[in-house]
Every structure is written in C-alpha cells, then in structure tokens.
Structure 1
Amino acid sequence: MARLRRDPFFVQAVRSTAAATLSYVVALRLSSEPVPLTAPLTALLVVQVTVYSTLTTSLRRVNSVVVGVLIAIAFSVLVGLSWWSLALIILASLVVGRFVKVEEFVPEVAISAMLVLGVTQVADTAWDRVLETLIGAVVGMLFNLLLVPPVWVDTAGESIDDLARRMRRLTLDVAEEFAGAPTVERAAARLYEARQLDDDVADVDAALRTAEDSLRFNPRVKEGLLHRIVLRTGLDTLEICAVVLRVLTRTLTDLAKQRAGEELLPRPVSLALQETARHTGDAFVSYAVLVTTPGSAAAEEAETRLAGDLRTARASRDRTAGLLLALALREPGHWQLYGAMLAEIDRVLDELAPEHRGRRLMEELDRHTRERRERRRRLVTRYGRRRRAGAERG
C-alpha cells in the first residue's frame, strides 16, 4: 500500500474517482437532469496529478469540454445520432477546436462531443448539460486546489537511483567482456543494452517532469526551484554518461571484431580495467544518492562519499592507463581503441565530479534568475504602456 501511495497513476486514479463522484453528487442537487453524467465526465478531464498542471491546463480543458458539449447539443437537437452525424460531429469538433485555441486539447473537443452526444439523447434542455459541465470543471479545479496533490520528488528520485544502478551493472558487465574473448554478437548485445538506456532515460525524464510540476505552485514546498534544478541537472549528467557508455560498448564491439574470438586484453590489463569499472559504477550510485538526498547534512555526506569513489576510480584509471600504454606500444594497430577507452572513462569521471555539478547548478540558477528578471521587466513595460495609453485616452 505504501508503494501504491507513491505511484502517480494510482494516486491520480483515486483522486479522479473522488472528484468525479463528488461532482456527480453536486450535479444531482443543482441540475434538473436525473442522470447528470456530464459533470463527472468534465471532472475526470480537469483533475490533474499536480497543482501546476491543473492551473495551466484546466482553462483549456474546460474550454474544450464546453465547446464539445455545445456542438453535441446542437447535433442532438438537429440530427440526432447516426453514423453520418457522428462523422460530421467529429469533423466539426476538430475544426472548431482549432479556432477556439485549446491547443493540445483539440481532440478532447471531439471526444467530449461524442460522449455527450450519447447522453444528450434523453436531455430535455441543453443548458442543463452546460451547467453540468461547469459543475464538473469547478469541482475538479477546487479539488486540486484545496486537496493539494502529493509532491513526486521521491518517485523521481527512485527513478534516478534505478537508472544509476542499471548503468553501474552495465559498466561492470562491459568490463567483464573486455576480460574475456566475446564474440562479435555478444559484444553487439552489450551495445544494444547500452542503447536501451535511452528508453530508461526517457522514463526517468517523464517521472522528473511530473516531479517538477508537483513542486510548482505547491504551498507545502520551499525552495521548489532549487529542487527542480538539482534533479534536472542530475538527470542531464547521467544522460551524458549513458551516451559515453554507449560509445564504450561500441569500442568493445570494434575490438571484438579485430580480435576475432581471441582474448581482448591481457589479464593484468583486464583486472585493472575491472577495478576501474567497479569504482566508476560505485560513483554512479553515489552521484544518484547525492542528487536525490534532501537536507544539507545528508547531501554533504553523499558528496564526500562521491568524492572518495572518484578519487579511487581515478587512481585505478591511472594504473589502467599505464598498462594500456605499454600494450599499445606492443600493438600499435590498436592504440586508437585503447585511447578511446581511457577517454570514455575520463569523460564519465569528469561529468560526475562535484565541482562540475556545482558549476552546472550555478549556471542553471543564473539562467532562471535572468529569465525571471526578463519576464518581470516585460510585465512592467507592458503595464506602463497600458497606463500611458489610458492616460492619453482620458
């Protein structure tokens, strides 16, 4: 049950059900219709998973629903429901939706019109349907404003932590392949796994967008901007590292092609590389803990742990570099691949460095501050122009 309470889909389902039921009860008292189903329908469309999405999308949703309801009412009065009238109502709804500027909710004009068309066959008056729509919209908006949705930072943090652990496992698996004599097909399978990290990043990005929206306009959250920037820059860093891992698996595949079934690296080199991979993988996890840890004391502890993992990884990387240099001198034909391996490891360690993270955070904070200052300047300028225009007319 505790896990379900942290699931946005489950929470949204419960909240939508409660809002729709409440709007139906209110509509039963205010509407003359015996079965005012338009009210819960509208509430379902309006209730959002976060306060920010409610405020930014509810007006467009209400507009789209009202327009769809009015179109359905007109068609039910004029022609009723048939296959050709259904085609006309869909076409009319999509065209009208473009003109009323509901943006991404144009399909909901047609959806609302189709759904309402069925229930309006028993309607005695069109205005009852409009009243039910407004009841559902008001109940849905008040539901999210009075019963503030949860903050989804923990859910997003778990997603980031899972992504870091998957990257750690892939790093260790790739290092093991360098220690053996994998076939080209097996090395290509690791490359495919690395490419799948793109899908994992996309899933985390979706969870993070929900978390960012839940922090906006939420009275229970302090320093919401800082939380959003910390999570977003953390995911950006892991995404860059995922790209580097994909390049590393490409190097593995290329080396497997050149070795043609032979051992890829001598044992001393492969052991050093495995040690570097282990510490780098630990740094992935420590970085995720740092990004998702609330509280300054816990964050400081996580940053200390990350710095220690990076120091150990760099020391191991230096030992690996010395062994690879000696190997490249003996096998000059493969020096590009050996150098690429080191460059990829260096890129990951640089991206995870706390000082690099600090610079990213400051840059993002400065950018948001500049954007906020520019928006305020535009509002003041616009307000001044209106005042001057009003004074000239007066």
Structure 2
Amino acid sequence: MRRLADLVAAPEEASAGRGWRALPLAWRTLLAGWRPDLVNLVRMTTAAVLAYVITRLVTVGPIDLTCALTAILVTQASATGSLRMGMVRVGAVLTGIGVALVVSIWVGLTWWSLAIVIFASLLLGSLFRLGPQALETPISGMLILGASLQNTAAETRVLTTLIGAGVGILLPLLWPPAIPLGRASASVRAVARRLSEVFSAAAADLDEAPLTGDALAEHLRAARDVGDDLGRAGELVGQVEEMWQWNTRTLGRADVSPLLRSGLDALQDCAAASRALFIALAQEAPSRTEGGQVATPEFSDEVRAAMSVVLGDVGACIDSFGQLVEAEISGQEQHRRERLDHNVELLRETRAILTELMLMESDGGPTDQWLLRGSILRAVDRILQVLDAPARARQHARWRDGQGDRPLPGPATSQEFVPLDRALLTSVRRAGRRARFPGRR
C-alpha cells in the first residue's frame, strides 16, 4: 500500500522551484549554494577598495597596500560569529598586524625578522588567551610584513593600518553578513527526512519478509549514520545562534534560533530511541544457519505486519516533525502541526494494535521475551513523547510570549505549502489498516 508520505510529498514536490522557472533545477541549486560566498567576496573586496580610497584621500606621498590587506583581514574576522568571538578574532588580527608593523618599520623583511614576527605573535596570542584564534595572529603578521615597503614612511604605515582596521570593523556593522537561517532550517529538515527514510526502509523490508539479523544490522548502521547529519545541522544551528547577536539584520526580529535548537534536540532524542529500537529488534530477529537458511522467526506474520505498519508510521511522524520545525521559522506551522498531530494519532493506534498482538503471542511465554518486546514498545513510546504535537505547540507559545510582537525574520524556504484534506488522509490510512488487520478498529 502506498505510504502517506508519498501521498503528501507529491504536491510539495510539484510546488518546489516555482520562484525561478526560467532556470534548470541544477542551476538554481548551484546559484543558491554560491550566493553566500559571492556576497562575502563582494564585502571583503569593498572593504579593501574603500580603505585604499580613504588612505589616498588623507595621506600624501607613497603608500603601500597595508590598508587594503588590513581591511580584508579584519572584515573577515569581524563578520563571522557573535560579538564576543568577533572581537577575539579582530584582536588576534590586530595583534599580529601590530607586531609586523613594529618589525617592518625598523628592519623590514628578513629571515630573522620573519622568525621574530611569528614567535612574538604566537607568544602574545598565548598571553592574551586567544584560544583557537591564536593562529590568526602570526598569519596576519606575516601578510603585513610581506606587504610593507621600505620607502613608505613609518607614520604613514601606521595611519594606513588604522584606516584599514577601522574600515574592517565598521563595514560588517553597516553591511552585516547574512545569517544562514535557511540552510540551518533545511539541515534540521534533512535530519528528519534521513531518519524517516531509515524507518521507511525497515518497514518495507519487514513487510516483504521476516527480517534477519544481518538486514537489521544494516538498518541500525543507517540509523547511526544519521549522527553525521545531526553534526552538520548542529554546526549550522550554532552559527545562527552566534551570528544572531549584534547583527543589524536581526534588529526588531524574533530570534528563531531556539526553535531550531529545540527541534534538533528532539530529533537527536528520536535518533537515540531509533537505535535502541533496532537493537531490540535485532535481538528478536532470526539469524541465518550454516546452510544459508533463515531460522524460525520469533515474530508471527501478524505481529510482523503490525510492526511494519508501526515503523512506517514512526517514519511519517518524524518527517512531519521536521516539516513543522522548518515551517515554524516562516510562520506557516499551523497546517504542519495538524499533520503531525494526525500522524501521531495514527501511530498511537497502530502501536496499541501491536501491543495487543504482542501480549497475545507472549502469553505464557518466557519472561525475557516479553521484556525484550517491551523495550521495543518503550522506544516507540519515547518517540511519541518527543514528537507530541500539543507539547510542541505549548513550547512554541512560550517562545512566542518571550519574543513579544517582533515579526519573524522571513520564510526560510521558497516552497509553498499545499494543504491536504485531513479527513481524507485519515480515512485512507485507517482503511488500509483495517484491510491488514480485520476485526480491529
């Protein structure tokens, strides 16, 4: 039977890409990926040219390009991260520039002056406790040392360095970097989609034939691989949290980073529960004998069919939750929340059927068998608890109260939401469930 995820995905896929109809999908994807880097390149180029123009206006006589190089270094340092981290990076750059400036005024570029700049920069970086940013100190110093010319007056070199530093600090405030909000929300959505695909694949395999330990090991490995997606999403969400502070683009806007963080934390809990679920299933699954034959399965065909439906419903719930988190960023969460509530409701029903069948099959059996199957149900219950739509709505309401009347920063994606008839979807899913489990409502 066609899964609900296939039914609801088709309208969304049809609506994707309506913004740039004239360009192929590959070109749209390529340009969307390059746009943040291109903007950053234009910003640093503007800083360098602006510093040079100002230096030409306020100085007389020969000048070097120390002003432009300083502006590039400081702009790159102050445009990334929070205000605290930005100031640390600017401090590291200016420390290296100061060391190189002093050395170049007196001796210029030699092998031993290069050694002095590197050693002094690293020493000052350690004394100032610059941490991971300490390496920017000698790098900046070497660049300035190489760019300094002997025929430039010392006072002119100091002035040009100060002009470049001032431009590098002020330009990100007047032209702030874009916050990767769209990429962060899409990465959280990708984690949910990836985890949902793991459950969908396991449900399809379990629906066709009894799963063996080898097959479940593959699904468990896929569930563990979701950790890589979680790591990438965590980095992007962390960038949003840091760059939201003291960024003029966020003035008067609601801070949506807590929504992304809480959504990612919920998916991390789901990933942990999914690993526990597949480990418990692997202990129930039969293994292949030496002759290549599959041993007698522990699950009956009816329990196996119910487990397949439950796994598919878990995947649909996780995918719906990812859509909800992404939609919350653009203020279009109402329909997504209804869909999540609908999928969770169906999962509770199929989970109840699975529990009933397991109880009937385990009646009179060994205690350890029921304890093992109970761990499977507990993992499903944990996912239900994490993905509870009313709880997410209450969390969202508390966040909204804390943000006051500030508007959202804007839609995170350009995809349009096409609402579906919830009653129709419910009837389709329940009809399919009654066909597989006659006599149960």
Identity %: 31
Normalising to structure 2: TM-score of the pair?
0.72
Instruction: Provide the secondary structure at the position in 2 that maps to 1:293.
Output: helix
CA contact (8 A) 1:68 1:112 kept: yes
- The Cα of 1:108 is off from its aligned counterpart by 1.2
Equivalent position of 1:270 in the other structure: 304
Equivalent position of 2:384 in the other structure: 349
Task: Tell me: CA distance 1:54–1:201, structure 2 relative to 1, closer, same or farther (3 Å).
Answer: closer
Q: Which has the higher mean CA deviation after the structures are superposed, 96-105 or 281-290?
A: 96-105
Task: Tell me: CA distance 1:319–1:63, structure 2 relative to 1, closer, same or farther (3 Å).
Answer: same
Q: Which has the higher mean CA deviation after the structures are superposed, 8-17 or 307-316?
A: 8-17
1:205 is matched with which residue: 231, 234, 244? 234
Spell out the pairing of 1:253-264 with structure 2 (5 A cutoff): 253-256=282-285, 261-262=294-295, 263=297
- The Cα of 1:123 is off from its aligned counterpart by 5.1
Q: Which has the higher mean CA deviation after the structures are superposed, 140-149 or 340-349?
A: 140-149
CA contact (8 A) 1:50 1:150 kept: no
- The Cα of 1:251 is off from its aligned counterpart by 2.3
Q: Which has the higher contact order (CA 8 A, sep 6+)?
A: 2
Give structure 2 stretches of 5+ with no counterpart.
1-26, 405-441
- The Cα of 1:114 is off from its aligned counterpart by 1.4
Give structure 1 stretches of 5+ with no counterpart.
370-394
Equivalent position of 1:324 in the other structure: 358
Residue 336 of structure 1 aligns with an amino acid whose one-letter code is: L
Counterpart CA distance in 1 for 2:328 and 2:114 is: 53
1:190 is aligned to 2:219: yes
CA offset digits 1:49-86 (Å, max 9, x no partner):
99783643443333322321222233345555455543
Residue 23 of structure 1 aligns with an amino acid whose one-letter code is: A
1:246 is aligned to 2:281: no
Equivalent position of 2:69 in the other structure: 41
Task: Tell me: CA distance 1:283–1:181, structure 2 relative to 1, closer, same or farther (3 Å).
Answer: closer
1:300 is matched with which residue: 334, 340, 343? 334
Equivalent position of 2:257 in the other structure: 228
CA offset digits 1:216-272 (Å, max 9, x no partner):
344554774551221211111111111111222322333346676434633322222
Counterpart CA distance in 1 for 2:371 and 2:205 is: 19
Counterpart CA distance in 2 for 1:232 and 1:10 is: 28
Counterpart CA distance in 2 for 1:166 and 1:65 is: 41
CA contact (8 A) 1:48 1:54 kept: no
CA offset digits 1:320-347 (Å, max 9, x no partner):
1222223333753533332111111110
Instruction: Provide the secondary structure at the position in 2 that maps to 1:165.
Output: helix
Q: Which has the higher mean CA deviation after the structures are superposed, 2-11 or 319-328?
A: 2-11
1:152 is matched with which residue: 155, 180, 193? 180
1:170 is matched with which residue: 190, 198, 201? 198
Residue 153 of structure 1 aligns with an amino acid whose one-letter code is: L
Task: Tell me: CA distance 1:143–1:272, structure 2 relative to 1, closer, same or farther (3 Å).
Answer: same
CA contact (8 A) 2:280 2:375 kept: yes
- The Cα of 1:160 is off from its aligned counterpart by 1.2
Task: Tell me: CA distance 1:137–1:49, structure 2 relative to 1, closer, same or farther (3 Å).
Answer: closer
Normalising to structure 1: TM-score of the pair?
0.79
Equivalent position of 1:313 in the other structure: 347
